[in-house]
Chain A
Amino acid sequence: MRFQTCAAACALALAMPAFAQTPDTSDWPAVLEEARGQTVYWHAWGGDPRINSFIAQVGAELSERHDVTLEHVRLADTADAVTRVVSERAAGRDDGGAVDVIWINGANFASMKDQDLLFGPFAEDLPNWSLVDTDANPAILIDFTLPVEGYGSPWAMFQMVFEYDSATVPQPPRSLDALRAWIAANPGRFTYPQPPDFLGTSFLKQALYGVLDDPSILLKPTDDVDYDAVTAPLWAFLDEITPNLWRSGRAYPANEPALGQLLADGEVDIGFSFNPGRASAAIADGELQDTVRTMVFDEGTLANSSYLSIPYNAANKAGALVLANLILDPEIQALAQDPAVLGFQTVLGMDRLTPENRARFDALDLGIATLSPDEMGTGLLEPHPSWMTRVAEDWAARYGTAE
């Protein structure tokens, strides 16, 4: 009986249809033709209702314009999609994979690219690539110091902003040193998500930028520098602030939404986010008090981009390419930048758009708490991915276990 079940299953596996050929990205009409009727599975973090409804809007557009159906696979963690692709390769499924598109950057991107789990290069063959402003934003070609090389299509830019309640903090600290003093004077009113959470570890990297005389060494892998000496001032900084953190540093919020909730509950007075428009959107939805404002550090804050990547074994590559191109469409980019929708920063260059499309961006109201582009200050380059891993590990050893 057991043998029969197994045999039947194996026969079923063998009988599965052969999958379509890898599309030729240079022949766009053929890509569009092949994509017609496909269903694309986009694996993206599903924890934010605004992002979910944006993806649903993109899906409606994709279906209307290109007859491609979009399914948003809502992840609790982007690494789940990476795990998925890894398991598929482990099981020998080199085509017909379940993941068609991943919203990705940083360590997940580095890991997949290193292991040849990505399809490409494709990004620079997309028709809308010509609208992407790589001159003004060369950083979008480099993800955490790793050249993207067309294995991911950038679609939004992010920069860390601090969110503070102007009712309780009329004079917010505008540098790391000012923050250090503010924490000492206001014990229990600041915290950061617990590393290795992405945002929490990003705060540590932001702090590294603030304590180092020459932050450019952060662009090298940790193995190429005197890591202990470089990070010593960071640990000194953390040792100093930890007793005065929220819960005296005995507990930390889990992630960005949890930190946002603490700010909304009034448990902390200063939070931070990678989405400069988050605070305005949350205020508009009645989830955050309207006295919250955002600011950046004088020394600059970390900036990075989000990409769409296609796994090497994706079942619907043509549809995935059409999706990646559609997201770079000025209409969709303007939608994403609208604070009432997402408030993400566009990757398009305004001078490359038609006047009609440029008007879409000019018409956007930034929102009550959002800084204008010229107030955003310097965007700092993300350190090499090895910093993320190593600093998070060391943090866990120093602060992540009860003494």
Chain B
Amino acid sequence: MIRAAPGLVVALMALPVAAGLAGAVLPAFGYFPALGGADFSLAPWRDLAAWPGLGSAVRLSIVTGLGATVISLAITLLIVAAWQGTRSFRVVTSLLAPLLSLPHAAAAFGLAFLIAPSGWVARALSPWATGWDRPPDLLIVNDQAGLALIAGLVLKEVPFLMLMTLAALGQTDSARRMAVARSLGYGRVMGWAKTVLPAVYRQIRLPVFAVLAYSMSVVDVALILGPTRPNTLAVQVLDWMTAPDLTLRFTASAGAVLQLLLVLGALAVWILAERIVAARGRLWAGRGARGQMLDTPLRTLVALPMAFIGLGVGLGLTGLALWSVAGLWRFPDLLPQSYGLRVWTDQSAQLVGLGRTTALLAGLSALIALVLTIAHLQAGASRLVKVIYIPLLVPQIAFLPGLSALGLWLGLDGTLGAVLAVHLVFVLPYVALSLSDPWQAWDHRAGLAASALGAGPWRVLVAVRLPMILRALCIAFAVGFATSVAQYLPTLLIGAGRVGTLTTEAVALAASGNRRLIGVWAVMQMALPMVVFALALALPALIARRRRGLKVA
């Protein structure tokens, strides 16, 4: 069974991935018989080129995607370099990890309400400091440079990269590397950058690629915070995809393929930049500057983005929660004039029903993904298995219409099983991503010792290896759970509207712009994965308490 695992995983992933890609590429060249496109042509590309916003949209996608990735990565690495091993680091990371479970859309709404001209910041300063008794006419959210969009993405991607870096840290012997560097007189940050970073970066490369691909093609955050004249390319593709004029589907497909090419191009540029940085970095490390003076200023500097993320998320979510119980709340009142639970009681039946479906889907898909990941890792790494990461690098908007066509063709759409299967396509790569590094870095000598004592491969796996990586297993499960909860387009398209989750409901209601409703659903949507995350962090700690000798990774 174990030996068949890689094949099974590839089969499970390859078919949807292939159909998803074919479903984007064929219509982009004019082939979509159901819409009368029986011949191949370049007309969709001509239509795409004729769209006046194309240049700006492409530039926006590249700038916001690369910008969000570079900033998120820099903040993450600086935080870890400057603070790793300290008490406040442990506090901050335990606060940051659950942020991963926060749906992007909820974080974006929270941020928007904070920084908008009618938002909390302006309210706190008005009218006493600003003289505003009406919201000022300032373009902050939806600004044309995409700064708000980048901020919203950074807010979410730093916790993700942070968690991935933490997972990698345990496997790179970072404590001893640092000890050596420090004893040679290197400053904290400089020593970390020269001795730990090269090993850690190698392990978080794929998550970084995923962040880049995601940031370039994100739809929901861009809808809330991104520029509108024009949109980012991904949002524009969605507009075309859902336009009543069905001939725009062809343009949409061409746009989707262009989005895919942009992502691939950006990845290529990124990899090239990696090489240059690595070559320069070797020379730089060889010069041996100790950089002890850097620690204090850098620690102070990095406290700024940390505060921004903490306050942005904390106040943003508090604001959403407050809106969910607010009556009339006019500018510039800092707090609502009245409170009420009307929206909560109105929604309670829905919340319970959809919460149950959501938890079922997320729990099952995370569990299956975990078992499949363990099985294919146990069977030995195979190049073919890289296929499962494709869903992370192909923009969802290019991928999903084709996938839904597959579900229809098999007559499986609209069932819980089909939705579970398509969730798995997106959950599996994240679970594999979380688990494979700790898995590879496991100390094989423990297995050798067990084998020498007569344990078979199964026993080594179940009695030695899995308990030793329990923390990574729990985190991988929680990541999978959160990923499933956040799925919108896959649930909508494959669920055919018959399988609803907290997220499909939340995004449908987000269209209303009704902050009270958004508050209710965002709070629910974030509570569910957060509980699972809390358990995932608490469980290994509880077990490890009784086995002091066992170093749980």
Contacts and interface: CB of A to CB of B under 8 A. Distances in A.
Given A266-B135, A401-B56, A402-B56, A79 B409 contact: no
Contacts of B342: 285
Contact of B515 (A79, A99, A106, A261): A261
Given A107-B244, A265-B135, A87 B401 contact: yes
Interface in A182-223: 187-188, 194, 196
Contacts of A267: 117-118, 134-135, 137
A137 interface: no
Contacts of A247: 137-139
Interface string B399-422: 001001100111111100000000
Contacts of A48: 512, 514
Interface in A265-316: 265-267, 285-287, 289
A115 to B, nearest CB: 7
Most chain A CB inside 10 Å of its own CB: which residue of B56, B331, B408: B408
A213 to B, nearest CB: 30
A264 B507 CA distance: 21
B508 A9 contact: no
Interface string B495-531: 0111010001101111111111100000000000000
B515 A196 contact: no
A399 B515 contact: no
Contact of B245 (A10, A84, A389): A389
Contacts of A264: 330
Interface string B372-384: 0000000000000
A396 B52 contact: yes
A236 interface: no
A80 B517 contact: no
B412 A12 contact: yes
Contact of A87 (B134, B331, B408): B408
Nearest to B32: A90
B109 to A, nearest CB: 12
Contacts of B4: 1
B53 A86 contact: no
B11 A2 contact: yes
Interface string B327-368: 110110000001010110011000000000000000000000
A49 to B, nearest CB: 6
Q: Which of B11, B223, B242 has the most CB of A within 10 A?
A: B242
Contacts of A111: 244-246
A258 B328 contact: no
Interface stretch (A67-75, A120-128, A353-361): A67-75
Nearest to A43: B497
Nearest to B244: A107
Contact of A400 (B52, B142, B504): B52
B137 A246 contact: yes
Contacts of B405: 87, 90-91
A285 B413 CA distance: 38
Nearest to A42: B497
A12 B410 contact: yes
B511 A77 contact: yes
Contact of A80 (B53, B408, B492): B492
A76 B507 contact: yes
Contacts of B340: 286
B452 interface: no
Nearest to B336: A286
Interface in B35-93: 35, 51-53, 56
A368 interface: no
A392 B454 CA distance: 74
B contacts with A: majority SS: loop
Contacts of A287: 328, 514, 516
Contact of B509 (A47, A87, A107, A253): A47
B511 A5 contact: no
A261 B514 CA distance: 7
A9 B497 contact: no
B283 interface: no
Contacts of B56: 401-402
Given A71-B498, A74-B500, A255-B513, A90 B35 contact: yes
Interface stretch (B227-235, B295-303, B423-431, B463-471): B227-235
B311 interface: no
A108 interface: yes
Contacts, number: 204
B144 interface: yes
A110 B243 CA distance: 12
Contacts of B228: 194, 251-252, 254
A16 interface: yes
Nearest to B338: A286
Nearest to B60: A402
A196 to B, nearest CB: 7
B14 interface: yes
Nearest to A267: B135
Nearest to B36: A115
A107 B245 contact: yes
Chain B contact-residue range equals: 35 or more
A13 interface: yes
B33 interface: yes
Given A91-B409, A401-B230, A257 B142 contact: no
B229 A83 contact: no
B15 A2 contact: yes
Nearest to A258: B513
B408 A75 contact: no
Interface string A158-183: 00000000000000000000000000
B11 A41 contact: no
Interface in B233-249: 239, 241-246, 249
A88 interface: yes
Given A87-B408, A251-B142, A401-B230, A75 B118 contact: no
Contacts of B347: 49
Nearest to A256: B513
Contacts of A266: 118, 134-135, 330-331
Contacts of B281: none
Contacts of B143: 251
Interface string B136-155: 01110111100000000000
Nearest to A187: B137
B239 A196 contact: yes
B7 interface: yes
Contacts of A352: none
A257 B513 contact: yes
A287 B519 CA distance: 14
A402 B117 contact: no
B34 interface: yes
Contacts of A5: 11-12, 15
A71 B438 CA distance: 45
A31 interface: no
A183 to B, nearest CB: 13
A389 to B, nearest CB: 6
B123 to A, nearest CB: 10
B364 to A, nearest CB: 18
B264 interface: no
Contact of A254 (B12, B138, B513): B513
Nearest to B14: A2
Interface string A1-33: 110011001101100100000000000000000
B8 interface: yes
Interface in A307-343: none
Given A98-B498, A107-B244, A90 B52 contact: no
B497 A98 contact: yes
B242 A77 contact: yes
Contacts of B33: 90
Given A46-B508, A80-B492, A267-B137, 12 more contacts: A46-B509, A74-B508, A83-B242, A91-B34, A91-B409, A111-B246, A250-B229, A254-B223, A285-B342, A289-B330, A396-B53, A402-B227
13 contacts: A2-B14, A74-B497, A75-B497, A79-B244, A90-B408, A111-B246, A187-B137, A188-B137, A257-B514, A266-B118, A286-B340, A289-B328, A401-B53
